[in-house]
Structure formats: structure tokens, C-alpha cells
Amino acid sequence: MSPRLQKLLVLLAVLLFAAPSRGQESLDAMIARELDALVSTYKYLHSHPELSYYEKESAGYLAGELRTLGFEVTENVGDYRVPGRTSYGLVAVLKNGEGPTVMVRTDLDALPVEEKTGLPYASRVKTQTDEAEVSVMHACGHDLHMTSFLGTAKMLSQLQDRWAGTLVMIGQPAEERGAGAWAMLQGGLYSRFPKPAMALALHTNPNLEAGTVGYREGYALASADAVDITIRGSGGHGAYPQTTKDPIVIAAQLILALQTIVSREVNPLDPAVVTVGAIHAGTKHNIIPDEARLQLTVRAYKPEVRRKVLLAIERITQGIAAAAGVPPDRAPTVTLADEEFTPSTYNNPELTRRAVSALKSALGPDNVVATDPVMAAEDFGRYSLEGNQIPIFIFWLGAVDPLRLREAQEKGTSLPSLHSSKFAPLPEPAIRTGVKAMTAVVLDLMKK
């Protein structure tokens, strides 16, 4: 065999059997290789949920995985308003030369819901809180978020030849309580660690089929306020109401009057919601109590609309109590649960358009759909507020079995929503899409 032929055969062997480099290998192939492990991670996280303020094991699991990928990880980041409460926020940093700093967020917490999906990996967790023992379930997709987050971290750690800059990946606690983002910012997220030029997140959507993503430019999610109203009357015997100031009657009048705020005081072009979610009063059929307590949720997009609604609630509450003859020293109190306030989420238009372009290129235009804004709330919006002015973009991750979705649409029925005890994402296509989508957006924003 001639030397020339020998060289040709050696070259052929190299071409045939050498593994492709990360730069040559497609993102789809990389994700496919990791998919079984990611699905196992998802099932583990799903079956080990933790409530807001209790996310110690979830944060520790993520921290350990990120360290193995070469990230510099800091745990217990964040300061809550409540003294003595531990924040399990984590920050992972991967520096890769000169370039922009991009932040990717996942949330960690689950909900006090008893799971009824019947899945083999369903949660059977119960947690003792300060109030009671409750069942716990990942009914809002945060397990899917964490899994996509870890998959994205792995892809980007292996693709450092394609991007440059500083990648900051954060695990945020207490999203369901609207307190986690605030706590991490108070704990020095933007001063102790590289401050991002832009921030990204995704959230599971129960109305989009797995394999697709959705987006909204501008206002995407509403603000949310938890409002507590205490009406102080003067109790007595139910047979002699004329001797009392009945707080239940005042509460009933107030509930109806509050509905006129949205219908008569807010511009019809500005969405707002005032919902009375709970009323507590009385102990027995024939006793008029001294107090009635109401719990409200208030939603809006624009800050000025939010302020208008809250001021109207205070005015109407005081007015109805005064009209009922409640004396000034027994006037109602209207309080806001400041720690659980969630601002509206505004997707920066320029960043949104750039990210959507990357999503369409990675997933195909048919798998990237424009969606309507929703009145649900997400504290991800905080990362762009309070003087930070950082562009943010959060997009929806489809999670529903396409066959079930089409069947429900044809029959006019509803599938389990977020926070439902029967909410069950379709893991494999949702995880594959979540990892590919977030990785593609980061690569585009940080490309060399």
C-alpha cells in the first residue's frame, strides 16, 4: 500500500469516527443526548416540591448541579421583610470573556395543593407550616422551569465557543408569594453580583401545546395586590338588629359597591380586576358579630390604574361604613400586604422582538405564537423596576399534550389550569422546547 493511500485511509477513519465538536454538533443533538436525564430530573423535582419560604432542598439541588457545570454559585441570597426568615435564593455566574451580562431566572417554589393527577411520580409531600400541615404540589410548572433552567445551563456551559460575556443564572424563591424577587434585590443581587444588561425567564402555559412557545410584547402580566379590609361594627343579638351596627350587612354592600370601580371609574380601555376572594364573620346563626374581614385581589397593568383602584377601595369602604352609622373611632381599616405585592410585567419591545426572532429561527415560525396579555401576576417584573431600568423578556412555554388540547377545543371543554390539582405537563416535548428556546435566545444575545 502506497504512503499516499495510507494517509487517505487514516483521514477517512478520522472523518468517519471522530466525534463532532460542540461547535459542529447541532443544539437538537446535544439536547437529545441529555433528554432522558432531564426528564428524570423533572420527575424528581415534581415529586419533591417545597412551599414558598421552604425551598432549601430545591435550591441546594440546583446549586450542586450548577457547580458541576463550572458556575460560581452563591446560596442563601436575599433578605425578606420578615426578620428571621431565610431566603434560599441562589446566584450562579459563568464568565466567558468580554461581552454583555445576561441573567436567566427560574423560580423554585410549589403550592399548597394536594395532587390528583394519578401520575406515578405524583407528589405525596406534606409540609408543616406555621398554620397547619398542608399537601404540596408543583401545580404551576416551576419544576418544568427548573429543569429547563438546568438544561440551558448545561448547553451554554458546553457551547462557550459560541458566546461571550457573563451569564448570571438565578434560582428565585417565593414567586408564588410575590416576595422572592424583592428579597433577592434587597439581598444585593445587582450589587454583589454582575448587574445584567437584560434578564430572561419562561413560564409554563396550560393553553399552549408542548413543543410551542408564546410571547407578548409590552404588558404581559398584571400587577397584583393583596388587600385586607376589616369592618368594625357593633354586635348583638340577631333578634334585635336595630341595636347593632351589622358588619356583615356593611360587607355585603361593600362587595357590590367595589364592582363599580372597574365599571364606572376606570377607563374601559385599561384592564383592571377587583375580586373579593374571602369573607370571614360571625360564629352562630343568631349572633351579629363585631367584625367582618374581607380579602381582595386587585389586578391592573398600568401603575396609575393600580393607584386609582386602591384609592377608590379605601374611599368606598370608609364611605359605606360612615353611611351605616359606624362612628369614626370604629372606622374600617384597609391594608396592603406589601411583601406580597407583585408589579406588572412589561416585556421590553426591542428585546422581545430580538428574542422572538431567535425563537422563530430555532423552533420554526409555526411554533412561536403571539398571545394575549393575562391578568395573572409574576414578580419577574421587579427585576426591571425600582430604578434598575433593565430590559426584561418572559415567554410562555407550551406544556399540554396536543391531542388533549385539540380534543378539549373541539368539545368546548377546559383542561386543568395552573394551580389545579390535576395540572400535568407533557414532560419530554416541553423540556426539549424549553431548553432549546432559552438557549437559543441567550446565544443570540451573547453571540461572538
The tens digit of pLDDT for each residue in 404-437 reads 999 999 999 999 999 999 999 999 999 999 999 9
Is a pLDDT exceeding 70 seen at residue 253? yes
Confirm if 199 and 103 have CB atoms less than 8 A apart: yes
Return d(Cα 118, Cα 207) in angstroms, integer: 21
Domains of the chain by range and CATH?
22-216+371-445 (3.40.630.10), 223-340 (3.30.70.360)
pLDDT value at position 265? 97
Angle of helix 27-47 relative to helix 142-158, nearest 10 degrees, comes to 140
| 213 φ, ψ (degrees, to nearest 5) | -130, 160
Return d(Cα 131, Cα 128) in angstroms, integer: 8
Residue 406 CA: distances (Å) to CA of 21, 28, 314? 40, 26, 45
Is a pLDDT exceeding 60 seen at residue 364? yes
The tens digit of pLDDT for each residue in 288-309 reads 999 999 999 999 999 999 999 9
The tens digit of pLDDT for each residue in 47-72 reads 999 999 999 999 999 999 999 999 99
Confirm if 341 and 225 have CB atoms less than 8 A apart: yes
